[in-house]
Structure 1
């Protein structure tokens, strides 16, 4: 199985470092994840256990643990992943939920106005995803049960038009 961690285009050193920690790697392995890929964006991470192979850093003692900064699109990663762990960016959340993939989000508390926390908490309350924080990530992974998550509703493009018509009193 494949676990994909992403911070998008932001810098979220704490999440990247935690995702590469023994505590997180061990719990992912215990749950059956054999491939772990971290998209680190502009974040810093300790490269001493990694070897650079082109655009990808590969862990020396385990080539199934990889880190890279950016790709033009993350859609392929989302589609292939069995679990996504992400910052709480709205674009990432919607892309992953539409694919009905298990998702753990970690709001980046260093961002201005903490808007990620509001979104993550609201969607977690609706049970579309699991919300955690950096320090509790191993526990969140361990306790995640896909059956506890509610499938995200299928996109209905006509619903927006209907709502707009109702608001403008055209309906």
Structure 2
């Protein structure tokens, strides 16, 4: 990367998957490159969903946004496989044409399935691409694309074990906030959001798409704890589909609350939080680490993936007093209550 960090005209294409966990660090990295090289032209391949559009359109240093809808692999509906292959072929062709037009110096991938056709198109055109892996355990796209490159950028040391034949280069997770974002006066922010200084502020982060499990378990916690209802104020990232229901829920209990799906000033909420309850996506964990807040992590875990568990275990090993873990299968209102009491 260092060879491109000077004030000359360069073109770089980024590609990121369909969630904030892929897109936000991608945009942050683009911003850092732009600050080092104001003459750089930056392009982003991403999905055409509304959240991606909303995030990208707010960043004017991105010269062009190249949206494309790429279907998920239809594992449970194999009869759709021919249509899926057509969809992938169309995306690959579009990527090939766009990269041929732009002739970028390189492509930078932050993962997600849509990175595969873009990076393969770059490979076919002789354009170098770089892989940035944000989790301890690499995703399927990064694992596949690793066969076509020698160097992988990783932000967890533990990731090296998955790529024994590659050159793994350590890099700091591109947190979107600056040092000035964490020196704001807490009392001023509490007043700004009509919160009370004598209440404990709980921040619940379910990620850009929300977490049904976190929403449900915390709702049960509030329903079963009158003391919490009288002493807490809540900032709750529910996801777009649930925020109205939860806003009404807190209002019915007269609990001061901010409920949202996506918010531009998340740094304000990090600053005023006393305790955070969160999933364990890499981006959220590194932001919590950046703001030095105590966190109860309930990582998302399925039969097919436990990468969030590995993320938080890696950080807990380094910061044992900041990160506490509850496995989702073991999580109950009683355990959550105990963990919150340990931090307050």
TM-score by length of 1: 0.66
Residue of structure 1 equivalent to 2:233: 35
After the TM superposition, list the runs of 4 or more consecutive aligned residues in structure 1 that deviate by more than 3 angstroms. Answer: 22-25, 42-46, 143-147
Residue of structure 1 equivalent to 2:79: none
1:80 aligned onto 2:80? no
Distance 1:111 1:15 in 2: 19
Which has a greater percent of helix? 2
Distance 2:266 2:224 in 1: 22
Please show how residues 38-77 of structure 1 align to structure 2 within 5 Å. Answer: 38-42=236-240, 44=242, 47=245, 50-51=247-248, 58-77=250-269
Contact 2:217–2:332 (Cα < 8 Å) also in 1: no
Residue of structure 1 equivalent to 2:297: 105
The alpha-carbon deviation at position 65 of structure 1 amounts to 3.9
Larger-gyration structure (1/2) = 2
Matched position secondary structure for 1:67 = strand
Equivalent residues, number: 140
1:131 aligned onto 2:325? yes
**Structure 1 residues 96 and 115: alpha-carbon distance in aligned structure 2, compared to 1, 3 A threshold:** same
The alpha-carbon deviation at position 33 of structure 1 amounts to 4.5
TM-score by length of 2: 0.35
- Segments of 5+ residues of structure 1 without an aligned counterpart are 52-56, 148-171
The alpha-carbon deviation at position 42 of structure 1 amounts to 4.2
Matched position secondary structure for 1:77 = helix
Root-mean-square deviation (Å): 3.2
Matched position secondary structure for 1:21 = helix
**Structure 1 residues 18 and 83: alpha-carbon distance in aligned structure 2, compared to 1, 3 A threshold:** same
1:10 aligned onto 2:209? yes
